[in-house]
């Protein structure tokens, strides 16, 4: 089956620093990857869609300069939280799709717990 690896699983960083989260599709090529964030007791909120070789598409209200997304290859997308602040502390989850014709939907990573102190 499809496997998506997300790293790191947990990270603590100081306020004002940047943090990079990696999302890899291990056994398939993902033309599209998605980034979500989830606050405690809430549902997943889609942040952006990452397409290989092109700019990411951000959802309304998500700051593209703060959440930098790079999808340089068909197996790797990265999310960089720049100048992190405590309110950016959240659970970040990536997912990947084999492509628009794949009706099986998405495979999700195990998530990254970010704590900004």
Partner 1 sequence: DAKTTQPNSMESNEEEPVHLPCNHSTISGTDYIHWYRQLPSQGPEYVIHGLTSNVNNRMASLAIAEDRKSSTLILHRATLRDAAVYYCILYNQGGKLIFGQGTELSVKP
Closest approach of partner 1 to the CB of residue 96, in Å = 11
Q: Give the count of beta carbons closer than 10 Å to the beta carbon of residue 92.
A: 24
Question: Quick one: which segment of 12-20, 66-74, 82-90, 109-117 binds partner 1 (CB under 8 A)?
Answer: 109-117
Q: Which of residues 1-20 bind partner 1 (CB under 8 A)?
A: 4, 6
113 lines the binding site for partner 1 (CB under 8 A)? yes
Do 84 and 17 touch, CB atoms closer than 8 A?
A: yes
Alpha carbon distance 41, 39 (integer Å): 6
Check residue 44 for interaction with partner 1 (CB under 8 A).
yes
CA-to-CA distance for 100 and 32, rounded, in angstroms? Answer: 8
Near partner 1 by CB under 8 A: residue from 69, 95, 114, 116: 95
Closer to partner 1 at the Cβ: 54 or 104?
104
Under the binding rule (CB under 8 A), the answer on residue 69 touching partner 1 is no
Report the helix count and the strand count for the chain, using DSSP H and E.
0, 11
Question: Cα(33)–Cα(51) distance, rounded to whole angstroms?
Answer: 6
Residues that bind partner 1 (CB under 8 A): 4, 6, 34, 36, 43-46, 49, 91, 93, 95, 100-111, 113
């Amino acid at each position: 089956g499809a496997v998506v690896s997300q790293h790191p699983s947990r990270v603590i960083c100081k306020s004002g620093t940047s943090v990079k989260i990696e999302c890899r599709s291990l056994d398939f090529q993902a033309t599209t990857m998605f980034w979500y964030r989830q606050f405690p007791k809430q549902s997943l909120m889609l942040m952006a869609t990452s397409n290989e070789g092109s700019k990411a598409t951000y959802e309304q209200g998500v700051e593209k300069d703060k959440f930098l997304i790079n999808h340089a290859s068909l197996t790797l997308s990265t999310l960089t939280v720049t100048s992190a602040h405590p309110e950016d502390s959240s659970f970040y989850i990536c997912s990947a799709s084999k492509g628009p014709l794949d009706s099986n939907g998405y495979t999700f990573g195990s998530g990254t717990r970010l704590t900004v102190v």
